[in-house]
Amino acid sequence: MNRCRLIQVMVVMAVLMGGAVWDEACTQSRPTADQIKRQLLPPDLGTIKTMGVRVRTEKGERQIAAKPREVNLNIPFELNIAEISADALPILRELGLALSSGELRGNVFEIQGHTCILGDPEFNLDLSQRRAEAVKNHLVTQFGLNPEQLLTRGFGASKPLTDNDTEAGREQNRRVTVVNTMRPYAGKLAQPAVQVQAVFRRGQTERSMTPGIVLREDDDYAVSFKAAHPCYVYVYQKDARGKWQQLFPSSAESMEVSSQHNPVQPGIVYRLPESKNRWLCLDEAKGTEHLVVVAYPTEVPRPVEVCQAVLSSHLDYRVAQATAAASPGDEGVKTMGVKGTRETYRTAPRRPRPEVARLKNVDSSKLFQWQLSFDHR
């Protein structure tokens, strides 16, 4: 049996036994959020519940408790230091994206710190605890996870993965283990507080866009937002043809309106387009167009469906409207592209589905919404 085949067999056996093994390919390179999620999710043994797995038997179904799942991450720390280093940020970003995803955000996790055998045992125990807490604090402040959702525990050198006789072995033992306890998180996620502003430029004059405003072919526009806490923000525009374009995070169709990504950081103004010297422009289709902004404490799997629900009022809760003001008259804005590039996106139109009001994994009471409709003439 060749080496690659052996690795595949070992991974399959681990999944069948309900364990969590990080395969060699993932150890050698930085794991992605999807890879981390696969390690922390329970094995697909039927209809998965938060607290267990339903298994079909000859006499019907029975529910068994789902075993905790874990992943070992080699998060780099400087020698005898517990502060998060710049080298650790990429892997912590992937971890944060995984834990705040729709599949995992409802569980309680334990973050465990481990060291190698070198050094004083009491110091190592304290260091491992402080490193686990540093990872937790980073996830709370940068990804909006609730502190009560993340437990911490330091083990020092008491639980090595391999022997400590070589530096390679000691490096594997210096790690952070993230455990999905399979216990549901009963705490509440707060609704994001987001300030949104849309402005247009006519000639050299900039003005705020207001609901129902009329925009002309030669006008330019931009959208900006600022969140009070870390959260996931999605900005979409629906044109007169009924097509939806994702402006934030940028998509291929939006021609990289912004280089920033979710989750957004508190107190920072995000502008679309990112550069103050660039503006959005309209395509040739005239009629009513819509801007929709939604924000949620964690990642939204299909944000365009949420925006469709907001715009069609399929969700039975209040939508934050742009502040109404007196219209200055015959005015307009160019949208659906960055000014200077007349390309239009080519995605197929998507129709709202009747069941969009009952979107899975989205709690309407925790969803921030903002919309503004204007006429393109």
Query: Is 265 within a domain?
Result: yes
* pLDDT given at position 66: 66
Assess whether pLDDT exceeds 80 at residue 116: yes
- 14 pLDDT band, cuts 50/70/90, is very low
Any idea what the CATH number is for the domain that residue 55 is in?
3.30.1330.60
Query: Is 295 within a domain?
Result: yes
Q: Which residue has the higher pLDDT, 232 or 6?
A: 232
Domain count for the chain, please give it: 2
* pLDDT given at position 237: 94
Query: Is 89 within a domain?
Result: yes
- 100 pLDDT band, cuts 50/70/90, is confident
DSSP state of 170: H
- The answer to which of 23-32, 247-256, 272-281 has the lowest mean pLDDT is 23-32
Measured from the Cβ of residue 301, the count of other Cβ atoms closer than 10 Å reads 13
* pLDDT given at position 235: 96
Q: Which residue has the higher pLDDT, 69 or 51?
A: 69
- 314 pLDDT band, cuts 50/70/90, is low
pLDDT tens string 155-190 = 999 999 999 999 999 999 999 999 999 988 877 677
Residue 197's closest CA among 217, 226, 220?
226
**3 state SS of 4:** helix
Q: Which residues pair with 208 in a beta bridge?
A: 199
Average pLDDT, stretch 145-156? 93
Whole domain around residue 354: which residue ranges?
194-376
On whether both 235 and 367 belong to a single domain, the answer is yes
On whether both 254 and 199 belong to a single domain, the answer is yes
- Residue 86 makes CB contacts below 8 A (sequence gap 6+) with none
* pLDDT given at position 372: 94
Residue 225's closest CA among 263, 192, 198?
198
Assess whether pLDDT exceeds 90 at residue 195: yes
On whether both 290 and 368 belong to a single domain, the answer is yes
On whether the CB atoms of residues 68 and 39 are closer than 8 A, the answer is: no
Q: Which residues pair with 373 in a beta bridge?
A: 290
pLDDT tens string 239-250 = 988 899 999 998
On whether both 292 and 200 belong to a single domain, the answer is yes
Strands (DSSP E) found in the chain: 53-57, 60-64, 69-73, 107-114, 150-154, 175-184, 194-202, 205-208, 214-215, 220-227, 232-238, 244-248, 269-272, 287-296, 320-321, 368-376
- 356 pLDDT band, cuts 50/70/90, is very low
Q: Which residue has the higher pLDDT, 30 or 11?
A: 30
What DSSP assignment string belongs to 311-364? HTT-SSS--EEPPP----SS-----SSBTT------PPP-PPPGGGGG-TT--G
Q: In terms of pTM, does the model score above 0.85?
A: no
Q: Is the dihedral of CA 340, 342, 346, 352 positive or negative?
A: positive
- The answer to which of 61-65, 142-146, 234-238, 366-370 has the lowest mean pLDDT is 61-65
Q: Which residue has the higher pLDDT, 3 or 269?
A: 269
As a whole number of angstroms, the distance between CA 239 and CA 300 comes to 22
* pLDDT given at position 3: 54
* pLDDT given at position 50: 43
As a whole number of angstroms, the distance between CA 246 and CA 256 comes to 10
On whether both 161 and 203 belong to a single domain, the answer is no
Average pLDDT, stretch 21-38? 65
* pLDDT given at position 204: 85
What DSSP assignment string belongs to 100-146? TSTTTTTEEEEEEEE--S-S-HHHHHHHHHHHHHHHHHHHHHHH---
- Locus of tokens 């705490």: 187
As a whole number of angstroms, the distance between CA 245 and CA 308 comes to 12
On whether both 223 and 108 belong to a single domain, the answer is no
